[in-house]
Amino acid sequence: MRKKAKFQVGVRGAMLGTMGFSAVLTIYGLKAKFSFGSSVYEGKERLEGKTVIVTGANSGIGKSTATELLRRGGRLIMACRDVDKCEEARREIMEITSQNNVVCRKLDLASLDSVRQFADNINKTEDRVDILVNNAGVMGIKERIETEDGFEMHAAVNYFGPFLLTHLLLDKLKASAPSRIINVMSPTYKANHINFSDINFKDSYNASKAYGRSKAALASFNLKMAELLDNTGVTTYAPMPGVVDTNLKRHQITSPWKQFVSKFTSWLQKTPESGSQTVLFCALNPLISDQSGFPYRECQREDNEGSVNRQLPRERLYLTSLVWTGLKDADEAKREFDEMQEMAKS
Protein backbone atom coordinates (compact mmCIF):
# COMPACT_ATOMS: atom_id res chain seq x y z
CA MET A 1 0.00 0.00 0.00
CA ARG A 2 2.87 2.37 0.92
CA LYS A 3 4.71 1.46 -2.29
CA LYS A 4 1.57 2.29 -4.27
CA ALA A 5 1.21 5.64 -2.49
CA LYS A 6 4.88 6.45 -3.08
CA PHE A 7 4.46 5.47 -6.72
CA GLN A 8 1.40 7.76 -7.07
CA VAL A 9 3.26 10.64 -5.40
CA GLY A 10 6.21 10.07 -7.71
CA VAL A 11 3.99 10.04 -10.79
CA ARG A 12 2.14 13.13 -9.60
CA GLY A 13 5.44 14.92 -8.97
CA ALA A 14 6.75 13.96 -12.39
CA MET A 15 3.53 15.16 -14.01
CA LEU A 16 3.68 18.47 -12.14
CA GLY A 17 7.32 18.85 -13.10
CA THR A 18 6.52 18.19 -16.75
CA MET A 19 3.59 20.61 -16.63
CA GLY A 20 5.77 23.26 -15.02
CA PHE A 21 8.49 22.78 -17.63
CA SER A 22 5.88 22.99 -20.39
CA ALA A 23 4.46 26.17 -18.86
CA VAL A 24 7.92 27.74 -18.84
CA LEU A 25 8.44 26.77 -22.48
CA THR A 26 5.01 28.18 -23.35
CA ILE A 27 5.79 31.49 -21.65
CA TYR A 28 9.13 31.77 -23.42
CA GLY A 29 7.38 30.94 -26.67
CA LEU A 30 4.82 33.67 -26.05
CA LYS A 31 7.59 36.12 -25.27
CA ALA A 32 9.34 35.26 -28.52
CA LYS A 33 6.08 35.62 -30.43
CA PHE A 34 4.78 38.85 -28.95
CA SER A 35 8.08 40.70 -28.74
CA PHE A 36 8.52 40.15 -32.49
CA GLY A 37 12.16 39.19 -32.20
CA SER A 38 14.87 41.56 -31.20
CA SER A 39 17.13 43.05 -33.86
CA VAL A 40 20.23 44.83 -32.62
CA TYR A 41 21.83 47.75 -34.38
CA GLU A 42 25.58 47.13 -34.36
CA GLY A 43 26.79 50.24 -36.20
CA LYS A 44 29.66 52.11 -34.54
CA GLU A 45 28.99 55.63 -35.84
CA ARG A 46 30.18 58.49 -33.63
CA LEU A 47 28.37 61.80 -33.13
CA GLU A 48 31.06 64.22 -32.00
CA GLY A 49 30.22 67.70 -33.24
CA LYS A 50 26.59 66.79 -33.90
CA THR A 51 23.43 67.84 -32.06
CA VAL A 52 20.49 65.53 -31.45
CA ILE A 53 16.98 66.35 -30.20
CA VAL A 54 14.86 63.56 -28.71
CA THR A 55 11.28 64.31 -27.65
CA GLY A 56 9.91 62.32 -24.72
CA ALA A 57 13.48 61.51 -23.71
CA ASN A 58 12.83 61.04 -19.99
CA SER A 59 11.44 57.49 -20.23
CA GLY A 60 10.89 54.43 -22.40
CA ILE A 61 12.16 54.28 -25.97
CA GLY A 62 13.04 57.97 -25.90
CA LYS A 63 15.30 57.58 -22.89
CA SER A 64 17.01 54.50 -24.31
CA THR A 65 17.54 56.23 -27.65
CA ALA A 66 18.85 59.36 -25.96
CA THR A 67 21.24 57.34 -23.81
CA GLU A 68 22.83 55.61 -26.78
CA LEU A 69 23.09 58.78 -28.86
CA LEU A 70 24.80 60.60 -25.99
CA ARG A 71 27.12 57.63 -25.47
CA ARG A 72 28.30 58.14 -29.06
CA GLY A 73 29.57 61.62 -28.26
CA GLY A 74 26.81 63.87 -29.55
CA ARG A 75 25.22 66.89 -27.91
CA LEU A 76 21.84 65.76 -26.61
CA ILE A 77 18.79 67.95 -26.10
CA MET A 78 16.09 66.18 -24.09
CA ALA A 79 12.74 67.73 -25.03
CA CYS A 80 10.19 66.85 -22.35
CA ARG A 81 6.89 68.09 -20.95
CA ASP A 82 7.89 67.49 -17.31
CA VAL A 83 11.20 69.26 -16.68
CA ASP A 84 11.69 67.70 -13.23
CA LYS A 85 11.42 64.17 -14.66
CA CYS A 86 13.67 65.23 -17.50
CA GLU A 87 16.36 66.44 -15.09
CA GLU A 88 16.16 63.18 -13.15
CA ALA A 89 16.57 61.18 -16.36
CA ARG A 90 19.40 63.48 -17.48
CA ARG A 91 21.38 62.72 -14.32
CA GLU A 92 20.86 58.98 -14.82
CA ILE A 93 21.92 59.15 -18.47
CA MET A 94 25.07 61.13 -17.62
CA GLU A 95 26.00 58.55 -14.99
CA ILE A 96 25.41 55.65 -17.40
CA THR A 97 27.34 57.16 -20.30
CA SER A 98 30.00 59.22 -18.48
CA GLN A 99 29.05 62.03 -20.90
CA ASN A 100 27.76 65.44 -19.83
CA ASN A 101 26.92 67.31 -23.05
CA VAL A 102 23.19 67.02 -22.43
CA VAL A 103 20.50 69.55 -21.51
CA CYS A 104 16.78 69.50 -20.75
CA ARG A 105 14.35 71.78 -22.55
CA LYS A 106 10.64 72.07 -21.87
CA LEU A 107 8.40 70.92 -24.71
CA ASP A 108 4.68 70.17 -24.44
CA LEU A 109 3.57 68.81 -27.81
CA ALA A 110 -0.07 69.33 -26.81
CA SER A 111 0.53 73.09 -26.96
CA LEU A 112 1.47 74.85 -30.19
CA ASP A 113 2.73 77.81 -28.13
CA SER A 114 5.09 75.47 -26.26
CA VAL A 115 6.31 74.03 -29.56
CA ARG A 116 6.98 77.52 -30.91
CA GLN A 117 8.83 78.58 -27.76
CA PHE A 118 10.97 75.44 -27.82
CA ALA A 119 11.83 75.82 -31.51
CA ASP A 120 12.59 79.52 -31.07
CA ASN A 121 15.01 78.69 -28.25
CA ILE A 122 16.73 76.01 -30.33
CA ASN A 123 17.05 78.26 -33.37
CA LYS A 124 18.57 81.04 -31.26
CA THR A 125 20.91 79.01 -29.05
CA GLU A 126 22.01 75.98 -31.08
CA ASP A 127 24.46 76.11 -33.99
CA ARG A 128 23.03 72.99 -35.62
CA VAL A 129 20.47 70.18 -35.44
CA ASP A 130 21.65 66.95 -37.05
CA ILE A 131 19.02 64.48 -35.84
CA LEU A 132 15.45 65.20 -34.72
CA VAL A 133 13.72 62.22 -33.10
CA ASN A 134 9.95 62.77 -32.87
CA ASN A 135 9.39 60.08 -30.26
CA ALA A 136 6.95 61.44 -27.65
CA GLY A 137 3.40 60.16 -27.87
CA VAL A 138 0.17 59.24 -26.11
CA MET A 139 -2.14 56.25 -26.52
CA GLY A 140 -5.43 54.91 -25.21
CA ILE A 141 -6.88 58.06 -23.62
CA LYS A 142 -10.30 56.79 -22.56
CA GLU A 143 -12.28 60.03 -22.77
CA ARG A 144 -11.87 62.65 -25.46
CA ILE A 145 -9.63 65.51 -24.33
CA GLU A 146 -9.31 68.72 -26.32
CA THR A 147 -6.14 70.80 -26.12
CA GLU A 148 -5.95 74.59 -25.78
CA ASP A 149 -5.56 74.76 -29.57
CA GLY A 150 -8.73 72.76 -30.17
CA PHE A 151 -7.08 69.48 -31.14
CA GLU A 152 -8.02 66.02 -29.89
CA MET A 153 -5.14 64.92 -27.63
CA HIS A 154 -3.86 61.98 -29.73
CA ALA A 155 -3.86 64.16 -32.83
CA ALA A 156 -2.10 67.00 -31.00
CA VAL A 157 0.73 65.07 -29.36
CA ASN A 158 1.29 62.36 -31.96
CA TYR A 159 0.89 64.47 -35.09
CA PHE A 160 0.25 68.22 -35.04
CA GLY A 161 2.93 68.93 -32.42
CA PRO A 162 5.67 67.01 -34.28
CA PHE A 163 4.42 68.48 -37.59
CA LEU A 164 4.91 72.06 -36.36
CA LEU A 165 8.15 71.30 -34.53
CA THR A 166 9.71 69.76 -37.63
CA HIS A 167 8.75 72.70 -39.83
CA LEU A 168 10.08 75.26 -37.36
CA LEU A 169 13.43 73.45 -37.23
CA LEU A 170 13.73 72.83 -40.98
CA ASP A 171 16.12 75.70 -41.67
CA LYS A 172 18.45 74.46 -38.94
CA LEU A 173 18.22 70.88 -40.24
CA LYS A 174 18.95 72.00 -43.80
CA ALA A 175 21.92 74.06 -42.65
CA SER A 176 23.26 70.99 -40.81
CA ALA A 177 22.79 68.57 -43.72
CA PRO A 178 23.20 65.69 -44.04
CA SER A 179 20.62 65.50 -41.27
CA ARG A 180 17.70 63.25 -40.35
CA ILE A 181 14.12 63.44 -39.11
CA ILE A 182 12.95 60.34 -37.25
CA ASN A 183 9.19 59.89 -36.78
CA VAL A 184 8.58 57.00 -34.38
CA MET A 185 5.68 55.00 -35.78
CA SER A 186 3.29 52.12 -35.15
CA PRO A 187 2.04 49.46 -37.61
CA THR A 188 -1.49 50.60 -36.71
CA TYR A 189 -1.10 53.27 -39.39
CA LYS A 190 -1.71 50.62 -42.06
CA ALA A 191 -5.32 49.96 -41.08
CA ASN A 192 -6.30 53.59 -40.53
CA HIS A 193 -7.10 56.55 -42.76
CA ILE A 194 -7.81 60.21 -42.11
CA ASN A 195 -11.49 61.11 -41.82
CA PHE A 196 -11.40 64.70 -43.08
CA SER A 197 -14.97 65.32 -41.97
CA ASP A 198 -14.03 64.59 -38.35
CA ILE A 199 -10.26 64.80 -37.89
CA ASN A 200 -10.72 65.87 -34.27
CA PHE A 201 -13.24 63.14 -33.35
CA LYS A 202 -15.87 65.66 -32.29
CA ASP A 203 -18.73 63.56 -33.67
CA SER A 204 -17.64 60.11 -32.48
CA TYR A 205 -14.63 59.39 -30.25
CA ASN A 206 -12.80 56.08 -30.12
CA ALA A 207 -9.40 55.89 -28.40
CA SER A 208 -7.99 53.12 -30.61
CA LYS A 209 -9.04 54.88 -33.80
CA ALA A 210 -7.75 58.21 -32.51
CA TYR A 211 -4.33 56.68 -31.89
CA GLY A 212 -4.28 54.75 -35.16
CA ARG A 213 -5.29 57.75 -37.24
CA SER A 214 -2.72 59.97 -35.56
CA LYS A 215 -0.06 57.46 -36.60
CA ALA A 216 -1.52 57.26 -40.12
CA ALA A 217 -1.19 61.05 -40.28
CA LEU A 218 2.41 60.84 -39.08
CA ALA A 219 3.20 58.19 -41.71
CA SER A 220 1.71 60.43 -44.39
CA PHE A 221 3.78 63.34 -43.08
CA ASN A 222 6.93 61.22 -43.12
CA LEU A 223 6.46 60.41 -46.81
CA LYS A 224 5.41 63.96 -47.74
CA MET A 225 8.50 65.44 -46.07
CA ALA A 226 10.73 62.99 -47.94
CA GLU A 227 9.22 64.31 -51.17
CA LEU A 228 9.59 67.96 -50.18
CA LEU A 229 13.14 67.57 -48.88
CA ASP A 230 14.50 65.60 -51.82
CA ASN A 231 18.01 66.80 -52.74
CA THR A 232 18.30 68.97 -49.60
CA GLY A 233 20.37 66.49 -47.60
CA VAL A 234 17.58 66.12 -45.03
CA THR A 235 16.03 62.64 -44.96
CA THR A 236 13.08 61.16 -43.06
CA TYR A 237 12.47 57.74 -41.54
CA ALA A 238 9.61 56.06 -39.66
CA PRO A 239 10.89 53.31 -37.32
CA MET A 240 8.30 50.96 -35.78
CA PRO A 241 9.77 49.66 -32.49
CA GLY A 242 7.19 46.90 -31.94
CA VAL A 243 5.41 46.02 -28.70
CA VAL A 244 7.53 47.64 -26.00
CA ASP A 245 7.09 47.83 -22.23
CA THR A 246 6.82 51.61 -21.70
CA ASN A 247 4.45 53.99 -19.91
CA LEU A 248 2.73 54.76 -23.23
CA LYS A 249 -0.07 52.46 -22.07
CA ARG A 250 -0.56 54.32 -18.78
CA HIS A 251 -3.96 55.70 -19.83
CA GLN A 252 -5.25 52.19 -20.48
CA ILE A 253 -4.38 50.71 -17.08
CA THR A 254 -7.36 51.96 -15.08
CA SER A 255 -8.37 48.96 -12.93
CA PRO A 256 -6.73 46.33 -10.68
CA TRP A 257 -7.42 43.64 -13.29
CA LYS A 258 -5.77 45.69 -16.03
CA GLN A 259 -2.82 46.32 -13.72
CA PHE A 260 -2.46 42.57 -13.20
CA VAL A 261 -2.68 41.84 -16.92
CA SER A 262 -0.22 44.64 -17.63
CA LYS A 263 2.37 43.19 -15.25
CA PHE A 264 2.15 39.83 -17.03
CA THR A 265 2.13 41.17 -20.57
CA SER A 266 4.96 43.61 -19.84
CA TRP A 267 7.24 40.62 -19.33
CA LEU A 268 6.30 39.40 -22.80
CA GLN A 269 7.12 42.71 -24.44
CA LYS A 270 10.41 44.19 -25.58
CA THR A 271 12.48 46.26 -23.22
CA PRO A 272 12.90 49.95 -24.12
CA GLU A 273 16.53 49.18 -24.99
CA SER A 274 15.43 46.52 -27.46
CA GLY A 275 12.65 48.73 -28.79
CA SER A 276 15.07 51.55 -29.50
CA GLN A 277 17.24 49.53 -31.89
CA THR A 278 15.32 50.35 -35.07
CA VAL A 279 15.15 54.00 -34.02
CA LEU A 280 18.95 54.00 -33.71
CA PHE A 281 19.24 52.20 -37.05
CA CYS A 282 17.23 54.96 -38.73
CA ALA A 283 19.09 57.74 -36.95
CA LEU A 284 22.60 56.46 -37.60
CA ASN A 285 22.95 53.96 -40.44
CA PRO A 286 24.79 55.63 -43.35
CA LEU A 287 23.62 52.96 -45.80
CA ILE A 288 20.00 54.19 -45.82
CA SER A 289 20.68 57.82 -46.69
CA ASP A 290 18.99 57.25 -50.07
CA GLN A 291 15.95 55.47 -48.61
CA SER A 292 14.04 58.43 -47.20
CA GLY A 293 10.30 58.36 -46.49
CA PHE A 294 9.93 54.68 -45.62
CA PRO A 295 8.84 52.81 -42.49
CA TYR A 296 11.34 50.46 -40.85
CA ARG A 297 10.82 47.44 -38.60
CA GLU A 298 13.48 45.24 -36.99
CA CYS A 299 16.18 47.29 -38.73
CA GLN A 300 14.73 46.54 -42.16
CA ARG A 301 12.93 48.78 -44.61
CA GLU A 302 9.26 48.17 -45.40
CA ASP A 303 7.03 49.67 -48.07
CA ASN A 304 4.46 52.29 -47.17
CA GLU A 305 0.99 50.77 -46.96
CA GLY A 306 -2.62 51.87 -46.76
CA SER A 307 -3.90 55.40 -47.30
CA VAL A 308 -0.37 56.83 -47.04
CA ASN A 309 0.17 55.94 -50.69
CA ARG A 310 -2.82 57.97 -51.93
CA GLN A 311 -1.42 61.28 -53.18
CA LEU A 312 -4.48 63.57 -53.00
CA PRO A 313 -5.37 62.66 -49.39
CA ARG A 314 -1.69 63.07 -48.51
CA GLU A 315 -1.62 66.54 -50.08
CA ARG A 316 -4.91 67.50 -48.46
CA LEU A 317 -3.70 66.46 -45.02
CA TYR A 318 -0.46 68.35 -45.46
CA LEU A 319 -2.18 71.58 -46.52
CA THR A 320 -4.78 71.22 -43.76
CA SER A 321 -2.01 70.74 -41.21
CA LEU A 322 -0.16 73.84 -42.44
CA VAL A 323 -3.34 75.87 -41.92
CA TRP A 324 -4.21 74.39 -38.53
CA THR A 325 -0.72 74.97 -37.16
CA GLY A 326 -0.65 78.56 -38.40
CA LEU A 327 1.94 78.04 -41.12
CA LYS A 328 -0.29 78.82 -44.11
CA ASP A 329 -3.29 80.94 -45.01
CA ALA A 330 -6.50 78.91 -45.36
CA ASP A 331 -7.60 80.51 -48.64
CA GLU A 332 -4.18 79.97 -50.19
CA ALA A 333 -4.18 76.33 -49.11
CA LYS A 334 -7.65 75.81 -50.58
CA ARG A 335 -6.57 77.28 -53.92
CA GLU A 336 -3.55 74.99 -54.03
CA PHE A 337 -5.61 71.90 -53.30
CA ASP A 338 -8.27 72.84 -55.85
CA GLU A 339 -5.53 73.14 -58.47
CA MET A 340 -4.17 69.71 -57.48
CA GLN A 341 -7.62 68.19 -57.89
CA GLU A 342 -8.02 69.73 -61.34
CA MET A 343 -4.62 68.43 -62.40
CA ALA A 344 -5.53 64.96 -61.13
CA LYS A 345 -8.68 64.98 -63.28
CA SER A 346 -6.85 65.97 -66.46
**Structure confidence by residue, pLDDT tens digits, 177-215:** 999 999 999 988 898 999 999 999 999 999 999 999 999
**Is 210 found in the same domain as 335?**
no
Specify whether 28 is catalytic. Answer: no
Judge whether 41 lies within some domain: no
**Is 319 found in the same domain as 304?**
no
Peptide bond into 178 cis (omega under 30): yes
Integer-rounded Cα Rg, in Å, for the chain is 23
Say whether 266 sits in a helix, a strand or coil.
helix
Specify the amino acid at residue 182: I
Judge whether 21 lies within some domain: no
Per-residue pLDDT of 244-282, as tens digits, reads 565 554 444 454 555 555 455 555 666 979 999 999 999
Task: Report how far residue 345's alpha carbon sits from residue 339's, in angstroms, rounded to the nearest whole number.
Answer: 10
**Is 235 found in the same domain as 344?**
no
Judge whether 56 lies within some domain: yes
**Is 205 found in the same domain as 334?**
no
Domain range for residue 346? Answer: 310-346
Give me the pLDDT at residue 346, please: 75
Judge whether 3 lies within some domain: no
Judge whether 26 lies within some domain: no
With cut-offs at 50, 70 and 90, classify the pLDDT of residue 326.
very high
Judge whether 333 lies within some domain: yes
Judge whether 179 lies within some domain: yes
**Is 226 found in the same domain as 205?**
yes
Give me the pLDDT at residue 34, please: 47
Task: Report how far residue 262's alpha carbon sits from residue 36's, in angstroms, rounded to the nearest whole number.
Answer: 18
**Is 269 found in the same domain as 253?**
yes
**Edge-to-edge strand ranges of the sheet holding 51-55:** 102-106, 75-80, 51-55, 131-134, 179-183, 234-240, 294-297, 300-301
pTM of the model: 0.85
**Is 178 found in the same domain as 298?**
yes
Per DSSP, which regions of the chain are E strands?
Answer: 51-55, 75-80, 102-106, 131-134, 179-183, 234-240, 294-297, 300-301
- Number of folded domains in the chain? 2
CB-CB neighbours of 328 under 10 Å: 16
Selecting among 28, 41, 189, 211, the annotated active-site residue is 211
Question: What mean pLDDT comes out for the span 228-254?
Answer: 77
**Is 314 found in the same domain as 303?**
no
Judge whether 256 lies within some domain: yes
